Amino acid sequence: MTAAGPTVRGTLSIIATPIGNLGDLSERARTVLGEVSLLLCEDTRHTARLLQHLGLNPRCQALHAHNETERIGDVLGMLAEGRHIGLVSDAGTPCLSDPGARLVDAVQAAKHTVHTLPGPFAAAAGLAASGLNPVPFAFWGFAPKASMARRRWLELRLSPAPGGGAMSHAVYVPGRDVAAMLADVDAIAPEVRVVVARELTKLHEGYLRGTPAAVAEALLPEQAKGEAVLLIEVTE
C-alpha cells in the first residue's frame, strides 16, 4: 500500500481596502494583492479601479451575496491545490456587512490557512471621530429598507448597555435614507445623541452631531448621496 502524501493546504487572505482615500491601503495589502493567484471581489469593476491605481493585474472573480454559496466548492478545490487566494469587498473589511463570511467559515472548517490583513472599517472609523461613547458599541450593518420593518428593527436594537451606562450603535445608511432613519430614531428615542458620519476619509468628510431632530434639520439636500455611518448613543 502506498502511503498517502502530505495534505496540501492553500491560503485565503482577507484584505481590507480603502473606504475612500487610496493612501489608506497598507503596504502589506499592496504586496499580497500582487501575490495572489486569484482575487475574489464583491464587484470586479469596482476593484479594477484600485488595481489599476496600484499597477496590478491579478486574476479576478466575483464573489457577492448572490453567488457566494455556489463559489465555495471551487474555492476549496483551488486551496486544496495549494493556491493563494485573496478576498476583498468594494471598500473596507470583507465579511463585515459585506460578502465573505460563509466562505471564510468553510475555509476554516477545511483547515486551510486564513490570514487577515486589517485596515479600514467605516463603523469603527466613524465611531472614533464621533465623540460618542466608544465601549461598548454594537455594529448592525444595514437596516431594512421598508419603513415599518426598519422602525421595528431599531426598536429591538436601541437598548442601553447591559449593567447600565452608555452604549453606542453603528448603522450603515445610504445617503438617501438618512433623513428617514433619523425620523425613526426620533420617534423611538428623541433624547439620544446621534452622529451622521459622511464621506469618511474623503475630501468632504464631515460629522453632524446632536439629537435626531436637530441633525435631521441640519441635513442639506446634497448630503443625500453616497453612504453614511449613523451612530446612536443610548443611555439608561
CB 209 within 8 A of CB 193: yes
Return d(Cα 225, Cα 176) in angstroms, integer. 6
Starting from the edge strand earliest in sequence, which strands make up the sheet with 11-15, in order?
60-62, 38-41, 84-88, 11-15, 113-117
pTM of structure: 0.91
Return d(Cα 214, Cα 151) in angstroms, integer. 19
The predicted-structure confidence for 100-119, as pLDDT tens digits, reads as follows: 999 999 999 999 999 999 99
CB 127 within 8 A of CB 137: yes
Backbone phi, psi, residue 19, to 5° = -95, 0
* Per-residue pLDDT in tens (0 to 9) along the chain, 236 residues: 444 445 678 999 999 999 999 999 999 999 999 999 999 999 999 999 999 999 999 999 999 999 999 999 999 999 999 999 999 999 999 999 899 999 999 999 999 999 999 999 999 999 999 999 999 999 999 999 999 999 999 999 987 777 778 899 999 999 999 999 999 999 999 999 999 999 999 998 999 999 999 999 999 888 888 889 999 999 97
For residue 180, the model assigns a pLDDT of 95
* Residue-wise burial string across 150-180, b where 16 or more C-beta atoms lie within 10 A, e elsewhere: bbebbeeebeebeeeebbbbbbbbebebbbb
- Quick one: which of 118, 88, 108 has its CA closest to 100? 88
CB 194 within 8 A of CB 215: yes
The predicted-structure confidence for 197-233, as pLDDT tens digits, reads as follows: 999 999 989 999 999 999 999 998 888 888 899 999 9
For residue 5, the model assigns a pLDDT of 47
CB 139 within 8 A of CB 122: no
For residue 92, the model assigns a pLDDT of 95
For residue 3, the model assigns a pLDDT of 47
For residue 2, the model assigns a pLDDT of 44
